[in-house]
Amino acid sequence: MGKKSKVLIVDDERIERTALGAILKEHYEIREAADGKEAFELLSGASEEIAAVILDIVMPEYDGYYFLERYRASDMYQEIPVIMATVEDDAAVEKRCLELGAWDFIGKPYDPDIIRFRIRNVIEHSQLQISRELKYRAEFDVLTGIYNKSRMFQATSDIVRRYKDKKFAFIRMDIEKFQLINSFFGMDEGDRLLKYIAYLLTKEAQGREEIVYGRIEADIFGICMPYKEQQELLDFTGRLRERLGKYQLEFDIVPIFGIYLIEERSVSPNHMYDRANLAAKHCKGNYIRNYAFYTRRMSEEIEKEQRIVNSMKHALEDEQFVLYLQPKYELSDNQVAGAEVLVRWQNRDRGMVSPGEFIPVFERNGFITKLDCYVWEKTCMMLRRWLDEGKNPRPVSVNLSRVSLYNPKLVETICGLVEKYNIPRYLFQLELTESAYTSNPKVVQETMQCLQNEGFSILMDDFGSGYSSLNVLKDIDVDVLKMDMRFLSDTDKRRRGENILMSVVRMAKWLNMPVVAEGVERREQADFLRSIGCEYVQGFYFAKPMPVEDYEKLVFTGTPEASGGGKAAKTDSPWSLDSRIEELFLKLPQGVAVYEYSGNQIKIVRINDAYYNVCGGDTITEGKRRLFTIDRRYESRMLDAFRQAVDTKQPVDCEFLWDDEAAGRVDWFHLELHYMKQDGEKHVLYGILTNITQQKELDRELQKYGMALS
């Protein structure tokens, strides 16, 4: 005989409970409660599994009505059938009880046979309903009513095996930034959208039994469908995007589709989904092309990433990560002014692993924090060794990853390291990317302020590459700006790039911040940076990243050829200035330019700030244009002045007219040329430029006045 089901009898009269229990005890285990409150306490007990409740309506505390109201409001109890026991023959009472969720009624005095039949019927019915509910929940998503993950995957296996003559694709679909819909409009609105997506999929599959679909989780849906040409799949995704675009919500709903073309029918649906998921990741954030097809290369990237993850801890313990240094040069004298610390992975099996391979992986899985600490400590150890050897090291900068910035003990960690190795803090600089700031401005701002209070210099790396550069400067008092030479890439917008760089340098000077230009690869880039007053440069034209030993030879032994670059150290630029002269040059109230003259060609190589005011140009490009698009009548006069200064090595004066028809403006300039030196076939001169337009106008008016008097 099986285990008896439990029946709870709730009545404030003991005699009623006893009488009813006597009728049922042969077939059921009886539990009793004197009122509704005690009944709920018993129902909530973990050891009690009640199959049915017989409930009296009239009780002094927690009567039958109140019990039913709580019963209806709780998902915990709704599967337990409740039978009302009453002496009243009142239709209104029955209606009210049924509204509140009562399953049946029995009358007092009790008829044993009727009671036993009704109890058996409601219990069997409830168990059947529970069984159906469990079966439904095992196969269908409760919210949307379509297949859940497990049933959808099973249906996928079935459909692919059944239709062996058809080609199938597995599509993984979700909504770009779906979490924002829940945040902005509420969970109910998010649920409404998910139901609408299920409705669209149902409409698409209507009448086509070879299409299966389901909700995988959250806003992720899976579809397995046949196709003849890939365009059919794109038409399908296009229709869904178009219909979702018309959904009534003040939000740009963009579906993302990862598509796996099922070539091997033996592949499990789980693997189909994984591959479609990899494809979907490749189009995240792309609002124009919101789909991607899976390729083998995507799996290779994941496998490569997994190999990195598998070996990263051992590599750190085995000290396979080594420091490289890329020198920073001071443009005024082309001498090394410091270096940026970079990290390379010298893998025992694979050789040198590029940072582009392992750094993004470490940033995603958080291991970058351990690597950061490793690099910082190795840098402190290197500086300590140099100091102990009596060397005079230049400052070096280390990178702060955005993940490390969230470490609440970051300041404590860095301070602890420099104190452990007794490193002067001016030698240990910190580089922060602009994108790291924009991800969490408040945290970064507070952390950087603490580090500066501790005496560390902060360099803003990749300045201008993000979307809020000026906000960064407004909120964080950085010490040095690092800007990328991508602004001067070979495009038809080169002049605009020059103007931007020039503006950044001038702005930095107003804020008393030095500028380091990164990615300098050609001499003309270095020349341009000198002309706009950029103080420091870093890039392959000067030196590539190098092992610590090569950097030591470059800086401490004076053998630049060891660097593999060394071009800058060997360059004897005739317009490089002593730092004191540099300061005077930049601050002179007169407009001063340094020129190269060769073969009747004149080239500006250096200009001070006052030059722009004298020329009336706001940019270097405008300034150059104004100087050299002079009136044709005065071109030969200009060239004659340069030739004479080169021949005589004496100061030479000349005047010339600049006529800007577009602006309706005419300016006169006086140029006083001074010869400096010869550099190969080129001659270097400097000129003092003065705008004499007002003087010319005055002379003209005086002449008119003199003629009138005569």
Q: Among 251-265, 506-520, 522-536, name the most confident range.
A: 251-265
* pLDDT for res 465: 61
* Residues in the chain, overall count: 710
- Between residues 102 and 490, which one has the greater pLDDT? 102
Decide if pLDDT at 126 tops 60: yes
Distance CA 659, CA 670 (A): 15
The percent of residues above 70 in pLDDT, for the chain, comes to 84
Q: What is the mean pLDDT of residues 602-618?
A: 70
Decide if pLDDT at 602 tops 50: yes
Q: Max Cα separation, the chain?
A: 144
* pLDDT for res 23: 85
* pLDDT for res 625: 47
Distance CA 23, CA 116 (A): 8
Positive or negative: CA dihedral 204, 206, 210, 213: positive
How much is the pTM? Answer: 0.54
**What confidence tier does 567 reach under pLDDT thresholds 50, 70, 90?**
very low
Q: Which residues have C-beta within 8 Å of that of residue 285, sequence separation ≥ 6?
A: 176
* pLDDT for res 563: 37
Provide the token pair at 471. 């906000």
Decide if pLDDT at 351 tops 70: yes
Q: What is the mean pLDDT of residues 571-580?
A: 43
Q: What is the mean pLDDT of residues 681-693?
A: 86
Give pLDDT tens digits for 446-475.
Answer: 888 999 999 999 998 877 665 445 666 776
Q: What is the mean pLDDT of the chain?
A: 83
- Between residues 624 and 442, which one has the greater pLDDT? 442
Decide if pLDDT at 559 tops 80: no
* pLDDT for res 78: 67
* pLDDT for res 656: 84
* pLDDT for res 316: 95
Q: What is the mean pLDDT of residues 171-194?
A: 93
Provide the token pair at 68. 């039913």
Distance CA 385, CA 296 (A): 48
* pLDDT for res 324: 97
- Between residues 305 and 257, which one has the greater pLDDT? 257
- H/E/C letters for each residue in 450-478? HHHHCCCCEEEEEECCCCCHHHHHHHCCC
* pLDDT for res 464: 65
- Between residues 31 and 173, which one has the greater pLDDT? 173
- H/E/C letters for each residue in 404-444? HHHCCCHHHHHHHHHHHCCCCHHHEEEEEEHHHHHHCHHHH
Decide if pLDDT at 556 tops 50: yes
* pLDDT for res 707: 65
* pLDDT for res 110: 79
User: Strands (DSSP E) along 93-166, which ranges?
Assistant: 104-107
**What confidence tier does 581 reach under pLDDT thresholds 50, 70, 90?**
low
**What confidence tier does 684 reach under pLDDT thresholds 50, 70, 90?**
confident
How many C-beta neighbours within 10 Å does residue 3 have? 7
Give pLDDT tens digits for 627-677.
Answer: 445 666 778 888 899 999 999 999 999 988 876 665 566 788 889 999 988
Provide the token pair at 73. 């409001």
- Between residues 244 and 60, which one has the greater pLDDT? 244
Decide if pLDDT at 146 tops 90: yes
* pLDDT for res 468: 47
* pLDDT for res 330: 92
Give pLDDT tens digits for 1-52.
Answer: 467 888 888 888 888 888 888 888 888 888 898 888 888 878 876 445 788 8
Distance CA 454, CA 451 (A): 5
Decide if pLDDT at 296 tops 60: yes
Q: Among 57-71, 452-466, 693-707, name the most confident range.
A: 452-466
* pLDDT for res 573: 42
Q: What letter represents residue 484's amino acid?
A: D
Block residue for tokens 């003309």 = 524
Decide if pLDDT at 442 tops 80: no
Decide if pLDDT at 359 tops 60: yes
* pLDDT for res 623: 47
* pLDDT for res 551: 96
Domains of the chain from N-terminus onward: 5-139 (3.40.50.2300), 149-294 (3.30.70.270), 307-483+545-557 (3.20.20.450), 484-542 (no CATH), 579-698 (3.30.450.20)
Distance CA 327, CA 396 (A): 9
